[in-house]
């Protein structure tokens, strides 16, 4: 076996999995603030994600320009609205933060793909990914609140249409409500937006690795958790079922999220879905490597490139990662 490992040229020749900037998507956090003053800086660092900032629209456009220069094909937009309410109305407001940022980025960089995260959690004051209603199974004034699946789906579809109208190239629902892909497909088609693809967060697990993101987006649930709508970490077959349902409902791409603790799921999804598969190398995975590198425990460049290669090898056609700019630089 060692004959083909002897020189770099031979190893390159027989390498099975290649990592390219063209497969990486850079997530951006866009904040609804005027930018530039002391009280409203144009960039707000995220403490748990060193190197990643919340951006004003102007800074997001600048960051998009850097992505283009580095050969990255796409950004994934998350919005942090000025105000939140029970119905997450900022999500489907045609003048909302993601809609404004999408228009600004597409104006400046028409060839860069803008993918938008479609969810209510950044826009609801309770931080859940959908609407709440009194739990019909626990009566009384102190009864628990539960997710209103079908009511949420309607607003999620409205959000996707609003993003597509603003110029989003791809909409990516991350809410995990049942039936949302079909509802989004129908709503887009009805509005004459039949050419807008859906990247469905299909295998989205109820994960501890979203912690830093929730600090970044201010979207931690005010009470309870997301286990009634996101997948249980022990369930691989169920992830596959979710994926095939989304394919059936009209998803153009599916996603596995997080990536590293779910590489087995990624392989199963790649083998069965028959459509492009994305993997989300999430905030906690990023924070883990950055912390180890900062402490001097790991060589950051080598660890990041090995990690991203492993995600590709497990079956990802596309990797969404906060390391995208660094990786693109290192791969040049």
Distance CA 122, CA 321 (A): 19
244-256 b/e (C-beta count within 10 Å ≥ 16 → b): bbbbebbbbbbbb
- Minimum gap (Å) between residue 51 Cβ and ligand PBG: 14
φ, ψ of residue 24 in degrees (nearest 5): -105, 140
- Minimum gap (Å) between residue 2 Cβ and ligand PBG: 40
Query: For residue 20, what are the CA distances in angstroms to 72, 106, 154, 275, 328?
Result: 9, 23, 37, 20, 7
Q: Which is nearer to ligand PBG, 108 or 220 (CB)?
A: 220
- Minimum gap (Å) between residue 210 Cβ and ligand PBG: 4
Q: Choose the catalytic residue: 84, 106, 204, 325.
A: 204
- Minimum gap (Å) between residue 12 Cβ and ligand PBG: 32
Q: Which is nearer to ligand PBG, 55 or 271 (CB)?
A: 55
204: annotated active-site residue: yes
Distance CA 257, CA 205 (A): 6
Q: Which is nearer to ligand PBG, 73 or 173 (CB)?
A: 173
- Minimum gap (Å) between residue 143 Cβ and ligand PBG: 25
Q: Which is nearer to ligand PBG, 69 or 208 (CB)?
A: 208
Distance CA 201, CA 20 (A): 22
Instruction: Work out whether strand 318-321 and strand 277-281 pair parallel, antiparallel, or are unpaired.
Output: parallel
Distance CA 74, CA 199 (A): 13
Q: Choose the catalytic residue: 84, 106, 257, 270.
A: 257
Distance CA 148, CA 20 (A): 41
- Give 137-176 as a DSSP string: TS-STTPPEEE-HHHHHHHHHHHHHHHHHHT-SEEEE-S-
Q: Which is nearer to ligand PBG, 178 or 191 (CB)?
A: 178
Q: Residue numbers of the site for ligand PBG (CB under 6 A)?
A: 117, 119, 121, 129, 174, 210, 213-214, 226, 282-283
Query: For residue 315, what are the CA distances in angstroms to 18, 131, 312?
Result: 12, 34, 5
Positions marked active-site: 204, 257
């Amino acid at each position: 076996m060692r004959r083909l490992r002897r020189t770099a040229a031979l190893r390159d020749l027989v390498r099975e999995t290649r990592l390219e900037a063209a497969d990486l998507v850079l997530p951006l956090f866009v904040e609804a603030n005027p930018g530039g003053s002391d009280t409203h800086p144009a960039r707000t660092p995220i403490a748990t994600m060193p190197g990643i900032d919340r951006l004003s629209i102007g800074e997001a456009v600048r960051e998009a320009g850097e992505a283009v220069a580095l050969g990255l094909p796409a950004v994934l937009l998350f919005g942090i609205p000025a105000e939140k309410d029970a119905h997450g109305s900022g999500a489907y407001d045609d003048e909302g933060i993601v809609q404004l940022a999408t228009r600004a980025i597409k104006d400046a960089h028409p060839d860069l793909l803008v993918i938008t995260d479609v969810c209510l959690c950044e826009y609801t004051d309770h931080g859940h990914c959908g609407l709440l209603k009194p739990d019909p199974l626990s009566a009384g004034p102190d009864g628990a609140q539960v997710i209103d699946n079908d009511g949420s789906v309607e607003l999620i579809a409205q959000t996707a249409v609003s993003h597509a109208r603003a110029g989003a190239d791809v909409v990516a629902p991350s809410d995990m409500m049942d039936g949302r892909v079909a509802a989004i497909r129908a709503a887009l088609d009805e509005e004459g937006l039949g050419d807008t693809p859906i990247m469905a967060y299909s295998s989205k697990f109820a994960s501890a690795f979203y912690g830093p993101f929730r600090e970044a987006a201010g979207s931690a649930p005010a009470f309870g958790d997301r286990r009634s709508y996101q997948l249980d970490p022990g369930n691989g077959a169920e992830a596959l079922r979710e994926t095939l349902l989304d394919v059936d409902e009209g998803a153009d791409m599916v996603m596995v999220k997080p990536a590293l603790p779910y590489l087995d799921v990624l392989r199963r999804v790649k083998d069965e879905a028959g459509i492009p598969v994305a993997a989300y190398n999430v905030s906690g995975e990023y924070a883990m490597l950055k912390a180890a590198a900062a402490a001097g425990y790991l060589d950051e460049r080598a660890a990041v490139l090995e990690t991203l290669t492993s995600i590709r090898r497990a079956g990802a056609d596309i990797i969404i990662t906060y390391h995208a700019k660094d990786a693109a630089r290192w791969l040049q």
